[in-house]
Amino acid sequence: MTHPSEDRSRTDPSKTERAILDDAEMARVVRRMAGELLEREPDLASLMLLGIRTRGLPLAERIADEVERMEGVRLEIGALDITLYRDDLSTIGPQPVVRGSELQSPVEGRVVVLCDDVLFTGRTIRAALDEVGDYGRPKAVRLAVLVDRGHRELPIHADIVGKTIETDRDELVEVAFREIDDGEWVRVLQGRGGA
C-alpha cells in the first residue's frame, strides 16, 4: 500500500523546510521508544501494538522489531483505520479512502498500545479510542507517537514520545518511512498558511 507521491515531488518555493530527524536519528529514537515500552509494560504477552493507518503502522512494526531484537519476542501487531470514526467527515475536502482495520485477536484484557507518527490535535487518538472500544474492553490503552508537535484540542497525552517539537499551528510535520515513502525522515514545512 503506497500513497500517491505527487505531493512529494511537487516543491512549493513558498515553503521552507526544517529538518528534525534523519534516518539514523529516527532509528535511535525508535530504539529508545521500544526501551521505554519494555520498562513500562514488562508483561510482553499482554501487549498488542495497534498502528493507526497509514504511518502509525510502520512505527508499530519498527517498535516490534526493536523489542524482538532486545527480548526475542515478537509482539502482536494490528492495524487501525480510524476513517469511519472521524468527526470531520462532512467538513474535510477530499474523501478519505477506507482501508479497514485488521486485528489479529480480541482486545479483551490486553494492554493496547496505539502507535501513530504525529500527535497534533488529538482527534485521531479520540477516534482510535472509540474504535478500540467497539472491539472490546482492553485492560489498558497506551499511546506511543514518534513526534509530538503540540496544539492539542482534546485532553490527550502520549505515554511514549520519540521527539517533542515546537511548531506553528499552520506548519506541516512530514514523516517519511522507507516502506511507504522514498526515504526516512521527519521535517517541518513552513508557509502552509494561505495555501
Partner 1 sequence: MNETLRWTRKDLLGIAPLDAPEIELILDTAESFLEVAERPIKKVPTLRGKGVINLFFEPSTRTRSSFELAEKRLSADSMNVSASTSALVKGESLLDTATNLQAMSPDLIIIRHQHPGVPHMLAKRLEAGVINAGDGAHEHPTQALLDALTIRRNKGRIKGLRVAIIGDIEHSRVVRSNIQLLNKLGAEVTIAGPRSMMPAAAHALGATVSYDLDEALEGRDVVMMLRTQLERHKRSLVPSVREYFKLFGLTHARLARAADDVIVMHPGPMNRGTEIASDVADGPASVILEQVANGVAVRMAVLYLLSTAATGAAPTAAGQSDKEPHAGDGAHRGES
Q: Give yes or no for residue 84 binding partner 1 (CB under 8 A).
A: yes
17, 31, 35, 123: residue in contact with partner 1 (rule CB under 8 A)? 123
Q: Are 120 and 173 in contact (CB under 8 A)?
A: yes
Q: Give yes or no for residue 96 binding partner 1 (CB under 8 A).
A: yes
Q: Give yes or no for residue 166 binding partner 1 (CB under 8 A).
A: no
20, 77, 101, 142: residue in contact with partner 1 (rule CB under 8 A)? 101
31, 32, 86, 163: residue in contact with partner 1 (rule CB under 8 A)? 86
The nearest distance, CB 168 to partner 1, in angstroms, is 11
The contact set with partner 1 (CB under 8 A) reads: 1, 3-4, 7-8, 12, 52, 54-55, 81-86, 88-102, 106, 116-125, 127, 130-131, 134-136, 169-170, 172-177, 180-181, 189, 192-195
